[in-house]
Amino acid sequence: MSAAWEVVIGLEIHTQLATNSKIFSGASTAYGAPPNTQACLVDLGYPGVLPVLNEEVVRMACKFGLAVNATVARRSVFARKNYFYPDLPKGYQISQYELPIVEHGELHIKDADGNDKRIGITRAHLEEDAGKSIHEGLDQSSGIDLNRAGTPLLEIVSEPDLSSAKEAIAYMRKIHTIVRYLGISDGNMAEGSFRCDANVSVRPRGQKELGTRSELKNLNSFRFIEKAINFEIERQIELIENGGKVVQETRLYDSDKDETRSMRVKEEANDYRYFPDPDLLPVEIDESYIDKVRDTLPELPDAKQQRFIDEYGLKNDDASILTMNLALADYFEEAAAASDAKAQVVANWVIGDLSGALNRGGVEVESSRVSAEALAGLLNRIHDNTINVPSAKKVFAEMWSGSKVISVPTGDLKLAGQIIKDLKIEQITDTSAIEAVVDAVIAANPPQVAEYQSGKDKLIGFFVGQVMKETDGKANPGQVNAILKKKLVL
Amino acid sequence: MSDDLHTLTLTQIAAGLEAGDFSAVELTTSLLGRIDSFNEPLNAFITVTAEQALAAASQADEARAAGNAGALNGLPLVHKDIFCTKGVLTTCGSHMLDNFMSPYDATIVERIKQAGAVMLGKTNMDEFAMGSSNETSFFGPVRNPWNLDCSPGGSSGGSAAVVAARLAPAGTGTDTGGSIRQPAALTGTVGLKPTYGRVSRYGMIAFASSLDQAGVITRSAADAALLLGVMAGFDERDSTCIDHPVPDYVAGLSGSLKGLRVGIVRQHFDEGLDEQTGNAVKESLAVLESQGAILTEVDLPNIDLSVPTYYVVAPAECSSNLSRFDGVRFGHRANDPKDLFDLYCRSRGEGFGEEVKRRIMTGTYVLSAGYYDAYYLKAQQVRHLIADDFKKAFANVDVIAGPTAPTPAFKLGDKTDDPITMYLNDIYTIGANLAGLPGISTPCGLVDGLPVGLHLVGPHWGEEAVLRCAHQYQQQTDWHQTCPEGYE
């Protein structure tokens, strides 16, 4: 991207609230049921039915508002957004318009230079989701599945404070982390529980007025969002640089072609004829309610990150990675508490080997095959010199694959010990035993010995490797190193 | 068994059933026979549910024999076809729903059923309750038993005609701008619209949600009190239904009117009011005075704005409420739609009548970007002023009295070409809807052989006051017992 251009991005994130029942009816919100089996008469918009607010959504929205340092409205109002579409049963969507439940929030991300950047949250409002139109597999007709109709959503609207796709992703990840910390959304993007529209515009650096924006829809993975925004930025700059003009429009991102294309221009935009829904009373919240909700707030990601730095002495980046996922942070804390190893060592294993295994296996940390306690037990065996790090990796792999898992009645903490015994990989720390192997290696490699002695220090690695090989990787690497250096001296 | 069971009021029937003078089955059979003989010229019913009625009556008789009689055990009534009734056609007077079998019962239908009442059928009405003459019904106009050339009023004209013609002692209705009280006035029956939030709207097909309220049409205030006691009360399925204690309305009927402060609104006796109708109402006020009530003039400075305010708010809400009738899930669907747009346009174009379309268009207009502030928002502000006026007035009076409608029943076809004149028929009743207040119309005279009504409005939760006032008035007069010729 040219340095002559400045990018302005605002995001609208729709996050599905993790309630058991819908926002205005008692029907279940569970995902994946056969079409139209989780839509009651209220969701179907039958004549005479009325919406009744699920109070749980108010509590959840309030929680979010407090977590992003926003104003929680003492009075908010549901409004009708009127438009016709087959998957919108009532011919209007119940949303909040002039008086949303959350306003004036903020959160902080790191910009490209690693500096702290404040991103404003204009508002967050409650609304119901629509159903789904189904076109695939139907000849000359469309199907409608209203299971999703009436599912509660919190729409979180940012200020146009984001200056790059990277910042947009950082902001979105932060929101994603927060809603999951709060337990108000499962954040499952594949199931559409967390999705986003992006308003993107560009302007010559230094220009005050905003450029004309386009709205990107259908962004349902972090990767696509970044790609779509970057494509759109390039498209707009190229357009303007070639003498063209950006038109205000809605564009759809096509992940197959990695491009955005026009869906509708502003002139075709609907007049939604918003007005307060006369079927619902204004939502009134008092101070004591907000205080009660505040008392239920968990430690939030930023605070936890700082605590991990202060309490465990972790590196900033590691603290950030660990706290991005509450379950991972909990895992780390549990392992650190059970382990004698330094917290940073625990962090390295959680971020490295454990996360790697989770990713490869496509497993959430909550269902990790290596428990935090088992990992702690393993790290304890490194710490007390029972095994070295390479052996520990073998033990970890055994733990993960579970092929040699014997029942360990005394708990996961002892699991590492069992596997070490089983694999017979206790570390060799007996100096005379190591010396014997070192002597043999030196004797077997006269040319390398000569080279080393003529000043090629780097060859020490070769000797260490040979000794480790001879000991099946069990020798204590520190001791091997020290003995080699002593014996290789001319 | 006597053959004059149709002359009995609900209260009398309850006593007769309890005394064993007749059974619910005998009564139901008798009324169904009467409906069979009289409905055809009146066109008061859309559906007669004879089979279900006899089954319900038989159940009621069994329940009574077993000592399990409910509050309305064996009492016959009709429901306006705006209330959803499970397994029974629920049309709302529209071609749009002329094939709609409701899968559920409205809350009031359920409560009345549980109390043991027997539904005889579903009554004709203005399409989606939009009208004051019952002429907008897809099923044709209802005729007034007092004069078959006249309208019974609307929109609850079917229930009013049924009760006036003694085809059933009671009927439910809904009142958005006067749709219970005006037809009651025009048919010589008693019509009660409760406080907004007193009765659940769940299962009542919405016209204008912030104004709609279910009520009853009966032949006496006592019968209205009996039914209201069963219908009223909190319903968790309606967020606008208020959890307010339900008093014993029947017990509340007794007590003299001595010292009752009755407010008279000067504007309600201005031009626009038919002189003879005005005289009849003034005579009824004199009766109240003779019973000890104190008449005082009250000022409702913004009441003249109630009709224009109503005709912004009600169409706005209806334009949105009626969006669900799109031909997709239920109701009328156009044949062979070319595409989605065609499906919408023709389903709605064919399914809705002229008046409904007029209001949808008006409502869409007043909610549109650029017009919202000038119309909808302004109307809501005026609505608050009108409600405030009533509040101030009720600081000094217990009820407000006046005419229910400006004229007696008018000829069918007389006003159909002029919507504004038609709308003015509700000029005295609309204020109570805008302010959410209870109102009752009770017969107070005949003008050229046609009944006219006295309208009593109470403060919020003032059902007891207006019922008692109407009941005590009915103890001194017999206008409510006057029967149209041929239906004795």
Provide the residue ranges of all domains of chain A, joining segments of one domain with +.
Answer: 5-291, 301-423, 431-488
Question: Residues A468, A469, A470, CA angle at the centre, nearest 5°?
Answer: 90
Report, as an integer, the average pLDDT of B74-95.
Answer: 98
A269: nearest CA partner in chain B? B369
Longest dimension (CA), chain A: 98
pLDDT in tens, B153-207: 999 999 999 999 999 999 999 999 999 999 999 999 999 999 999 999 999 999 9
B103: nearest CA partner in chain A? A41
Question: Residue A76: beta bridge partners?
Answer: A283
User: How far is B405 from B133, CA to CA, in rounded Å?
Assistant: 12
| The pLDDT value given to residue A394 | 86
pLDDT in tens, B14-65: 999 999 999 999 999 999 999 999 999 999 999 999 999 999 999 999 999 9
Best CA proximity match to B109, nearest among B91, B95, B90: B90
Distances (CA, A) of A251 to A7, A22, A349, A472: 17, 30, 43, 60
Any A CB within 8 A of B246 CB? no
**Which residues of B are designated catalytic?**
80, 155, 179
- On the question of a cis peptide bond just before residue A391, with omega within 30 degrees of 0, the verdict is no
How buried is A339 (Cβ within 10 angstroms: 0-12 exposed, 13-18 middle, 19+ buried)? buried
How buried is A366 (Cβ within 10 angstroms: 0-12 exposed, 13-18 middle, 19+ buried)? exposed
Any B CB within 8 A of A86 CB? yes
Distance from CA of B350 to the nearest CA of A (A): 17
The residue ranges of DSSP E strands in B198-260, in sequence order, are 213-218
The verdict on a CB contact (< 8 Å) between B320 and A92 is: yes
Identify all chain B residues contacting A27, using CB atoms and an 8 Å cutoff. Answer: none
User: How far is B107 from B203, CA to CA, in rounded Å?
Assistant: 6
Distances (CA, A) of B327 to A136, A230, B127: 22, 42, 17
pLDDT in tens, B256-311: 999 999 999 988 998 889 999 999 999 999 999 999 999 999 999 999 999 999 99
Any A CB within 8 A of B349 CB? no
Any A CB within 8 A of B289 CB? no
Instruction: Nearest by CB to B344, from A48, A52, A84: name it.
Output: A84
* Whether the Cβ atoms of residue A73 and residue A102 lie closer than 8 Å to each other: yes
Sign of CA dihedral B365, B368, B371, B373: positive
* Residue A30 CB partners (closer than 8 Å, separation 6+): A38
User: How far is A380 from A417, CA to CA, in rounded Å?
Assistant: 10
The verdict on a CB contact (< 8 Å) between A48 and B202 is: yes
Q: DSSP assignment, residue B184?
A: H
Identify all chain A residues contacting B92, using CB atoms and an 8 Å cutoff. Answer: 47
Question: Beta-carbon neighbour count of residue B275 at 10 Å?
Answer: 8
Identify all chain A residues contacting B316, using CB atoms and an 8 Å cutoff. Answer: 275
pLDDT in tens, A394-428: 888 888 887 545 555 546 777 887 888 777 788 88
The verdict on a CB contact (< 8 Å) between B240 and A52 is: no
Any B CB within 8 A of A32 CB? no
Window 149-178 of B: residues touching A by CB (8 A cutoff) are: none
Report, as an integer, the average pLDDT of B124-140.
Answer: 97
Question: Residue A215: beta bridge partners?
Answer: A199, A250
Minimum mean pLDDT range among A368-372, B364-368, B466-470? A368-372
Identify all chain A residues contacting B323, using CB atoms and an 8 Å cutoff. Answer: 82, 84, 90-92
Question: Residues B324, B329, B335, CA angle at the centre, nearest 5°?
Answer: 105
Instruction: Nearest by CB to B367, from A47, A275, A280: name it.
Output: A275
Any B CB within 8 A of A49 CB? yes
Max mean pLDDT among A28-37, A275-284, A380-389, A441-450 falls in A275-284
User: How far is A33 from A56, CA to CA, in rounded Å?
Assistant: 23
Q: Which residue has the tokens 């159909």?
A: B416
pLDDT in tens, B333-375: 999 999 999 999 999 999 999 999 999 999 999 999 999 999 9
Identify all chain B residues contacting A48, using CB atoms and an 8 Å cutoff. Answer: 83-84, 102, 106, 202-206
Q: Is the ipTM of this complex over 0.90?
A: yes
Q: Which amino acid is present at A191?
A: E
The verdict on a CB contact (< 8 Å) between B239 and A44 is: no
How buried is A208 (Cβ within 10 angstroms: 0-12 exposed, 13-18 middle, 19+ buried)? exposed
The verdict on a CB contact (< 8 Å) between A47 and B92 is: yes
Any B CB within 8 A of A381 CB? no
* Whether the Cβ atoms of residue A36 and residue A146 lie closer than 8 Å to each other: yes
Identify all chain A residues contacting B84, using CB atoms and an 8 Å cutoff. Answer: 47-48
Identify all chain B residues contacting A130, using CB atoms and an 8 Å cutoff. Answer: none
B207: nearest CA partner in chain A? A48
pLDDT in tens, A266-325: 555 679 999 999 999 999 999 999 999 999 999 999 999 999 999 999 999 999 999 999
Sequence-ordered alpha helix ranges (H) in A355-388 = 355-361, 372-383
Instruction: Nearest by CB to A50, from B90, B102, B202: name it.
Output: B202
* Residue A364 CB partners (closer than 8 Å, separation 6+): A327, A358
Q: Which amino acid is present at B243?
A: D
> A473: left (phi > 0), else alpha (psi -120 to 50), else beta?
left
Interface probe with A: pick from B313, B367, B378, most Cβ of A within 10 Å: B367
Looking at per-residue pLDDT, the higher value among A339 and B108 belongs to B108
Question: Residues A410, A415, A416, CA angle at the centre, nearest 5°?
Answer: 140
Identify all chain B residues contacting A149, using CB atoms and an 8 Å cutoff. Answer: none
User: How far is A4 from A211, CA to CA, in rounded Å?
Assistant: 14
The verdict on a CB contact (< 8 Å) between B329 and A280 is: no
Q: Phi first, then psi: give them for residue A127, nearest 5 degrees.
A: -160, 170
In percent, the amount of chain A with pLDDT more than 70 equals: 97
* Whether the Cβ atoms of residue A172 and residue A156 lie closer than 8 Å to each other: no
* Whether the Cβ atoms of residue B447 and residue B408 lie closer than 8 Å to each other: yes
Given 3-state DSSP classes, what are the helix, strand and coil percentages for chain B, each rounded to the nearest 5?
A: 45, 15, 40
Q: Which amino acid is present at B223?
A: D
Distance from CA of A3 to the nearest CA of B (A): 40
* Whether the Cβ atoms of residue B53 and residue B113 lie closer than 8 Å to each other: no
Which CATH fold topology does B5-260 show? Amidase signature (AS) enzymes (3.90.1300)
Distance from CA of A263 to the nearest CA of B (A): 18
pLDDT(A254) > 60: yes
Interface probe with A: pick from B83, B122, B321, B377, most Cβ of A within 10 Å: B321
Instruction: Nearest by CB to B324, from A91, A279, A280: name it.
Output: A91
Does domain A431-488 sit in CATH 1.10.10.410? yes
What does the mean pLDDT of chain A come to? Answer: 91
pLDDT(A243) > 80: yes
Any A CB within 8 A of B326 CB? yes
Per-residue pLDDT band at A367 (split at 50, 70, 90): confident
How buried is B71 (Cβ within 10 angstroms: 0-12 exposed, 13-18 middle, 19+ buried)? middle
The verdict on a CB contact (< 8 Å) between B320 and A91 is: yes
Instruction: Nearest by CB to A273, from B202, B236, B367: name it.
Output: B367
Identify all chain A residues contacting B239, using CB atoms and an 8 Å cutoff. Answer: 50-53, 279-281
Supply the angle between the helices A316-323 and A301-312 in degrees, to the nearest 10.
Answer: 140
pLDDT(B99) > 60: yes
Q: DSSP assignment, residue A351?
A: I
In percent, the amount of chain A with pLDDT more than 90 equals: 64
What does the mean pLDDT of chain B come to? Answer: 96
Best CA proximity match to B214, nearest among B244, B252, B240, B248: B240
DSSP per residue, A17-31: ---SB-SSSS-B--T
Q: DSSP assignment, residue B176?
A: S
Identify all chain A residues contacting B207, using CB atoms and an 8 Å cutoff. Answer: none
Instruction: Nearest by CB to B236, from A51, A52, A278: name it.
Output: A52
DSSP per residue, B8-72: --HHHHHHHHHHTSS-HHHHHHHHHHHHHHHHHHH--EEEE-HHHHHHHHHHHHHHHHTT---TT
Instruction: Nearest by CB to B317, from A89, A274, A278: name it.
Output: A278
pTM (predicted TM-score): 0.91
